[in-house]
Chain A
C-alpha cells in the first residue's frame, strides 16, 4: 500500500466515521432520555439523502437544502415520537410490550422506504456534490489526491457534533435531557418539562439523521434500502461508547470508519462485515462497550 493510498483510505474512513458518529449520536441521545430509539434511524438518514439529492438537482442552494431537510426530518422525528412511540406508554405492562417501540419504529422505517421507492425508484443514484464543483474534485494532501467533498464532509460533520455536544453539556436543555435520563419523575419535580424533553430528543435524533443524510449523499451511492446498514453500524458504534459516553461514541465511530475503510481495501467482498463482527465479539467480552460504564442489577 502506497503512502498516497494510505492517506486516501484514512480520509475516506474519517469521513464515514464522522457520518457514523452523527447517526450514532442520534441513537444515543434518544436512548439516553427515554431508553428507546428509532430503529429506522438509518432510513431517516436515507430519506434525508434522497430529499437533499432531489433539492440539489432542482437547483436549490446548499444552505437552503440543509435547512429544508433539517426542518422536514425534525417534523418526522416529532411525528415518530407522537404517533409511533408515545401511544405505547400505556401498554408497557403487556407481554413483550416493553419492546413494542422497536417494531413500531421499524414499521415507520418500512413506510419511509416504500415512499422513497415510489417517488424516486429502486435503483441506486448519485447525489450531486454539496461543496465542490463535481464529485471528482481532488486536492493534494501529503502527496495524495483527496476528494474535496470528503474533506469538507469531515469538517462539517465534526463541527456539527461539537455544536451538539455544546448543546448537551453547556445549555439548560442539555441538562434537562440528562435530568430526564436520570429519572423522569425527579426531573418533573424539578420543573423539567419531561414530555417536551422526550419530544426534543427524538427531534434532535432526526435532525442528526438529516445532517448525516445530506452529508453522506455525495460520498456514497444512494439507494432506498441503504438505511439498515447505517442503523446497524450506528448501533455498533454507539455500543462501543456503551450508549453512555458521547465522546466514546465519537472515538468509536472514527475507529470504526477507519477500520472499515482499510478492511474494505483488503477484502472488497466482505470487508464491510469484519468491523461489525469485531464489535459483536467485543460486546460479548465487554457488554458495556469500550467506553461505557458497567452497571449491575441487584436490588
Chain B
C-alpha cells in the first residue's frame, strides 16, 4: 500500500500543481453555485478525513469522536465571530485551537488506553459533545442554532463562493502535501513501529507518549479545521450536524478511499458525497445505506478504492516498476560497521540493582560493568532474573533501587527512548521487527536522522535524493550481515535466522555504544547460530560493548569476555568464562541442589 516509489519529486509535485490549477479554474468554468458549494464541502471534509486516515491508517488508533472535534472547531469559530465579534480568520484559528486542545485531552486518554478502550473513550467524547450542542442552549442555541455568523466571502456576493473555494483548496493542498510527507518519511516508520509494538519502539528511541498524543492532536486539529470551514460556508450551524453519523461518514470515507493511501481521503470523500447526493431523496433509508456501504467495503473491498485501482492496475500492467529503486542504490563501496567512540572506563555500569514484583525479588543487588568493545554474558537458570535485568537496563522497567551508568552518565531515571538516544540499543528474545515495514525500512528505523523535521520535509518535497543516504547506510548494514538481497522483503517472509540478523542490523543502525542482546540464538540451528556469532564478533570489533543474555552455553563460552551468573535474582559468580565454568556454585545452580544449599551459597557471596 505504501509502495516505496521514490520517483522524481517533480512528477509528484506536478500532481499538486494540477490539483491547484483544477481548484483555481473550477469556479471560473462552472457557473453553478451548487457545484461550487459541493466542491467546497468535498475539500474541507477531505481535510478531516486526512486526519482520520493518519490516525487510523498509520498509528492504528481508532477514533469514534471526530464529530466532536469537528463540532468544537465549528462552534468555537461560530461563537467567536457571532458573539465576540472576532474577525473570521482569528475566530477560525481560535476554534481550531480549541479542537486541538480537546484533542490533546482525549490524547491523554489515548496514552493510557488502547484499541477498543480508545474507540469507546472517543465514542463517549463525541457523544458528550453531541449532548452539549443539543442541550447547552444558552451557548449553542441547541437545535435552533446560531445566527449571525459571517460567511467567508471576502465581502463579495458574486465571487465570494469562488474565494472560499480557493481558501479551502489552498488549505487542503497544504494538508495533502504534509500528509504525503508523513506517509513517505520517518514519521510513517515511527508511527507504524509504535502501533505494532510499543516496547520495541521505545527501545529504538521513539518517544512513544509524545508521538501518540501528537498524532491525536493533529487529527483533531484537522477535524476542527473542517468544522470551522463548515461554519463559515453556511453562516449558520445547529446541533443536527454533529451526530455520531458525521463521525461514521468520515470513517466510511476513510475506508472507502483506502486506509493509509495518499489520495484515499480525497477519493473516499468524493465517493461518499456522491452517494449522499444520490440518496438525498431517500432520506428515510440513509442509515441503512450507510450501514450497507460500511459492511460491503470492509468485507469485500477492505483495501478501498485506491487498493482496487492498484490491483486492477497491477493486473493490467503486470510488469511493475516497483522496487527497482531500492536495488539500484550503491552498495559495492567498502563499508565498515559504524565505530563506537573509544572510551577508557566501562561503557555500561550496573550498581546494586534491585527489582521487586510485589513481594517477589526478581533481581537483588546485582552489579556488573562492561568494558569498551567487550562481550559480557549474563547467564543463569530460568527465572534467575536475566530478562528483568535487561529490561531494567533498557528502561522498560524501572528498578526499585540501584544505579545504571551509560558512558559514565547516570541514566537510572531516564525513559527507554532517552537511553536509546544516548547509545543504548537492544534486540528482543522474540523478535520485534515491524511487520508492515520492509526489512530495509526496519533498519532505517534505527538510523538517527540529523535533519530537523522542516528540513526533512523540504528535502522530501524538493530534492530527488531524499533519504538516499539513509537507505544506502541501511543497505550497507544489511550487506555486512549478509542479507542485503532481502532488503525489500517483509520480515514475516524471512526465515527465523535472517529475521534475527535483520533485528541486529536495526539495533546496529542506532550506532550504539552498548548493545543488549536478549537470547540472540534461541531457536536457531547451529549454522545460523554460527552466522550470528560472526556478526556479534564484528560488532564487538567495531567497539560496541555487548551485554548478552543467552542459554546456549557453548555459544556464550565461545564468545564472551566476561560472564555474570545469576540465580534466584542474585549474582552468584562473575569472571572469565573459564573461571565461571568451574565455579561450584554455578555448577550447583545449573545441575540442581537443595534450596537451602543454594541460599547459603548466596549468603556466602553476600558476606564475602
Which A positions have Cβ atoms within 8 angstroms of B?
Answer: 31, 35-37, 39, 83-84, 87-88, 91, 93-100, 102-104, 106-111, 113-115, 117-118, 228-229, 231-232, 235-236, 239, 269-270, 272-273, 276-277, 279-280, 283-284, 287, 297-299
Contacts and interface: CB of A to CB of B under 8 A. Distances in A.
B115 A87 contact: no
A114 B127 contact: no
A273 B131 contact: yes
Given A102-B119, A232-B127, A110 B288 contact: yes
B284 A108 contact: no
Contacts of B115: 98-99
20 contacts: A35-B116, A88-B299, A94-B302, A95-B1, A96-B56, A96-B259, A98-B115, A99-B119, A109-B291, A110-B287, A111-B291, A111-B292, A113-B287, A117-B287, A228-B123, A228-B127, A231-B123, A269-B136, A270-B135, A276-B127
Interface residues of A: mostly helix, strand, loop or mixed? helix
A108 B397 contact: no
A284 B60 contact: no
A81 B303 CA distance: 22
B131 A270 contact: yes
A174 to B, nearest CB: 23
Contacts of B284: 114, 117-118
B109 A87 contact: no
Nearest to A289: B117
Interface residues of B, number: 58
A87 B135 CA distance: 40
Contacts of A117: 284, 287
A280 B285 contact: no
A71 to B, nearest CB: 23
B167 interface: no
Contacts of A239: 117, 120
B199 interface: yes
B581 interface: no
B436 A95 contact: yes
Contact of B291 (A108, A118, A236, A279): A108
A111 B56 contact: no
B299 A228 contact: no
A268 to B, nearest CB: 10
Contacts of A273: 128, 131-132
Interface string B81-92: 000000000000
Contacts of B127: 228-229, 232, 276
Contact of A299 (B1, B60, B125, B430): B430
A99 B135 CA distance: 32
A110 B248 contact: yes
Given A96-B60, A103-B255, A114 B295 contact: no
B260 interface: yes
B155 to A, nearest CB: 39
Contacts of A108: 291, 295
Contacts of B135: 269-270
A102 to B, nearest CB: 5
A104 B109 contact: no
Contacts of B109: 280, 283-284
Contacts of A229: 127
B298 interface: yes
Given A107-B292, A276-B128, 8 more contacts: A95-B260, A96-B260, A104-B298, A107-B291, A114-B288, A114-B291, A273-B131, A279-B124
A276 B298 contact: no
Interface in B529-580: none
Those 3 A-B pairs whose CB atoms lie nearest each other, nearest first: A107-B294, A110-B291, A114-B288
A87 B301 CA distance: 12
Contact of A104 (B120, B259, B295, B397): B295
Nearest to B128: A273
A100 B255 CA distance: 9
B287 A114 contact: yes
Interface of B: 1, 56-57, 60, 62, 64, 108-109, 112-113, 115-117, 119-121, 123-125, 127-128, 131-132, 135-136, 197-199, 244, 248, 251, 255, 259-260, 284-288, 290-295, 298-299, 302-303, 391, 396-397, 428-430, 432, 435-436
B125 A280 contact: yes
A150 to B, nearest CB: 25
Contact of B113 (A114, A283, A298): A283
Nearest to A85: B299
A103 B297 CA distance: 10
Contacts of A39: 119, 123
A229 B288 CA distance: 20
Most buried by A among B123, B199, B251, B298: B298
Contact of B290 (A110, A231, A236, A277): A110
Contacts of B198: 297
Contact of B302 (A36, A97, A109, A111): A97
A95 B196 CA distance: 11
Contacts of A110: 248, 287-288, 290-291, 294
B172 to A, nearest CB: 23
Contact of A99 (B62, B292, B303): B62
B124 A236 contact: yes
Contacts of A283: 109, 112-113, 117, 121
A118 B285 contact: yes
Contacts of B120: 232, 235-236, 239
A37 B125 contact: no
B199 A107 contact: no
A210 B295 CA distance: 23
Most buried by B among A87, A96, A235: A96
A167 B288 CA distance: 36
Contacts of A115: 288
A232 B432 CA distance: 35
B60 A99 contact: yes
Contact of B123 (A83, A98, A232, A297): A232
Contacts of A284: 108-109, 112
Most buried by B among A95, A96, A239: A95
B128 A107 contact: no
Given A111-B287, A111-B291, A299 B131 contact: no
Nearest to B436: A95
B251 A103 contact: yes
Most buried by A among B120, B123, B259: B120
A256 to B, nearest CB: 13
A37 B113 CA distance: 17
A85 to B, nearest CB: 10
Nearest to A270: B135
Contacts of A114: 284-288, 291
B306 to A, nearest CB: 11
Given A232-B127, A297-B198, A95 B259 contact: yes
Given A96-B56, A299-B430, A277 B287 contact: no
Most buried by B among A31, A110, A235, A298: A110
Contacts of A276: 124, 127-128
Contacts of B124: 232, 235-236, 276, 279-280
Contacts of B302: 91, 94, 97, 100
Contacts of B113: 283, 287
A299 B121 contact: no
Contacts of B430: 299
A30 to B, nearest CB: 11
Contact of A37 (B1, B116, B298, B429): B116
